Structure 1
Amino acid sequence: MKKRLLIILLFIAATAAWSIEIHEKAGTTAAAFLKIDSGTRPMAMGGAFTGLANDINTLFWNPAGLTSIEFREFSAMQNFSIADINSQAIGYAQRLNQKMAFGIGFQGAFTQIEYRAQPTDKPDDLATVGGFATGLTLAYELIPEISIGGTAKLIHQRLSVENSLGFAGDFGMVLRPMGDLMGLGMSLQHFGLLDTEEDLPMTARAGISFAPLNELSVVGDVNYPLVGDFPSVHAGLEYWFYDLVAFRIGYSLNQGENLQNGLTTGIGLRRDGRSSLINTNFQFDYALVPSADIGNAHRIAILGRF
């Protein structure tokens, strides 16, 4: 009991220490596509996943959580959003040994902007804008209760005819003082610069998860942008019925948004493969992220374990 209490106190102290340097800057950031959180399962739970961090989605939320995977995992996600802005994410992860795991991930978002010299029905030209990031993640289990991880990312941004490159890093920690019953996580994301010396949307996350039943997970996150934007609070839950169908619901609260925008929901379906894929477990996830201001966003993802 004393050991678990010490771990929790260390987590709180570390979170406070990291928060000391947090400061806000006015203005916008580059590589805005990084603000679009990747993953369907996490978004169905209101965007809370930093403390749970127990599948390949953790590549984009908390790199330390990668030590929780038991098999090789892959995922592909498509986000059908508003204003023809679609985002994607692809990931693969596996264990290297009992202590270490690695993964690679890709996330990006693109749209087209119309150019007109005069107020005409048809545009004079179309320009593709957006960007993508490719990352390599390593996670290491210090002791059974504590894991750390990091991601090195190459970032490419395209704004009309101007392209820019940059490098960034993510850093994370997960504490499981009571095994799978409770998880505490924190991560720092998008620390770096583009070659234009513009700031990236650096963010600090802290989260907690609680699983009183094998079928039930209750999660909560706090996100604190270090450059611009407002802090946000996220909460959600997931319940699996017979390990076949999952129901998810969540809510996020952001000071700068309409209060009606925060509700999210989704489902998950899980099934083993057939014939040559008998050793592969497939999972399909769907999330609905409504917005009273700009409409609904639909996310779908497929995840495989083998």
Structure 2
Amino acid sequence: MNKIAPWVLFWIAGVSFGQSVRKYSNEFLNIGVDAAAFGMANAVVAQTQDVNSVYWNPAGLVHLEDGQAAAMHASYFANIAQYDYAAFAQPIDTESAWGISVIRFGVDDILNTTQLIDSQGNIDYNRISKFSTADYAFTLSYARKLKIPGFQYGINAKVIRRTIGDFANSWGFGFDLGLQWDRDDWNFGLMVRDITTTYNVWAINEEAFKSIQGAVAGQNQELPESTEITAPKAQFGVSREFDLHNETFLRVSGNLNMQFTKTNDILATDVVSIDPALGAEYNYTDLIFVRAGLGNFQNVTQIDGSRRLGFQPNIGIGFKYKGIQIDYALTDLGDQSAALYSNIFSVKVDFSIFR
């Protein structure tokens, strides 16, 4: 891709300025995983019961009967950014389970033109190099049933690695906590991300950073602070499955995605902002799945200063045969929200097919 080095300033600007809690930090962890979930607008916190629970709600891992693996790929911003995810989980015994996952969101082959002009003022294209900027998250999950029937909990311990070429890199660490309650055909779930707040500590290459500033006239010559803190977020979900007979089912679910600050969400106060999401899945004999969802309800400011309601309609389809499931989702159908649409594919394998 053709990007000049000053573009990376926007990434370095993402490094925290001081110890304050920031609205937007480690945002790549809010994108989501699994095309099946995307097809339902990510309204799956209450119903998740497979390997992808390592992301959506680790409490759901206790429903695993055998080992499972999953992978997903998506492209964003006209294929400039690549988003990849892989996970594995398996039961420990009838009461507990564990899982691991890795997420990468990155932009590769960015042209570094800061050294294009030498000290004599000559342009030398051999001085152009390439670099990548990428965010990684490594998660270890544990789930266990509580002694109260229908209740289970899960914990994520996550390590975050963020790199911006040779200019800067960081390490972060945090925890998530998930709860689920199942009763008859109803499922309830609560997921609190970054429950202890998540800290990222940056190491900045001062010489490389100043070379960027020198390439862009008028930029601040001060280095940004080296610590950023991600504030907690919460998701509450409800889901129910309806038996339509003849081995067909309809699942309806909803999420309330909460941030404890004022945002552009449809329900916003100084204390909490709430973005609802709704999803539905039609299941034919556990073989064919058709999904739809609405989410990302935002008050979008227009060029003329007026505001309109933006929302994100998603659709998806899935096929499952002998423990192998392939899912596809098209997000932001009709370009109704400020988000860009994307085609998302994922695969899930249940290891019971090998036994």
Task: Give the TM-score taking structure 2 as reference length.
Answer: 0.70
Match of 2:257 among 223, 229, 232: 223
Please tell me whether the aligned partners of residues 46 and 264 of structure 1 are also in contact (alpha carbons under 8 angstroms). yes
The range that moved more, 251-260 or 229-238, is 251-260
1:208 aligned residue: 238
Q: Does 1:288 align with 2:322?
A: no
1:300 aligned residue: 345
Distance 1:154 1:227, change over 3 A: farther
In 2, the alpha carbon distance for the partners of 1:31 and 1:227 equals: 16
TM alignment of 1:21-100, pairs within 5 A: 28-83=23-78, 84-100=80-96
Q: Which letter does structure 1 place at the counterpart of 2:325?
A: Q
1:141 aligned residue: 145
Secondary structure at the aligned position of 1:37 is classed as: coil
Gaps of 5+ in 2: 1-19, 117-122, 202-225, 266-273, 301-307
In 2, the alpha carbon distance for the partners of 1:128 and 1:86 equals: 11
1:241 aligned residue: 284
**CA displacement at 1:296 relative to structure 2:** 2.1
1:278 aligned residue: none
Match of 1:157 among 162, 165, 177: 162
Distance 1:202 1:110, change over 3 A: farther
In 2, the alpha carbon distance for the partners of 1:45 and 1:56 equals: 17
Task: Give the TM-score taking structure 1 as reference length.
Answer: 0.81
Q: Which letter does structure 2 place at the counterpart of 1:250?
A: G
Q: CA RMSD in A?
A: 2.4
The range that moved more, 232-241 or 252-261, is 252-261
1:4 aligned residue: none
The range that moved more, 28-37 or 240-249, is 28-37
Secondary structure at the aligned position of 1:41 is classed as: helix
2:216 aligned residue: none
In 1, the alpha carbon distance for the partners of 2:36 and 2:128 equals: 40
In 1, the alpha carbon distance for the partners of 2:169 and 2:262 equals: 23
The percentage of aligned residue pairs carrying the same residue is: 24
Gaps of 5+ in 1: 1-24, 273-280
In 1, the alpha carbon distance for the partners of 2:130 and 2:309 equals: 35
Q: Which letter does structure 1 place at the counterpart of 2:151?
A: I
In 2, the alpha carbon distance for the partners of 1:201 and 1:124 equals: 38
In 2, the alpha carbon distance for the partners of 1:82 and 1:261 equals: 19
**1:90-117 residue CA offsets vs partner (Å, 9 max, x unmatched):** 1111111110011011112001444556
Distance 1:294 1:93, change over 3 A: closer
**CA displacement at 1:225 relative to structure 2:** 2.4
Please tell me whether the aligned partners of residues 34 and 201 of structure 1 are also in contact (alpha carbons under 8 angstroms). no
1:5 aligned residue: none
User: Which structure would you say has the larger Rg?
Assistant: 2
**CA displacement at 1:126 relative to structure 2:** 3.7
**CA displacement at 1:254 relative to structure 2:** 2.5
**CA displacement at 1:38 relative to structure 2:** 1.7
In 2, the alpha carbon distance for the partners of 1:69 and 1:298 equals: 28
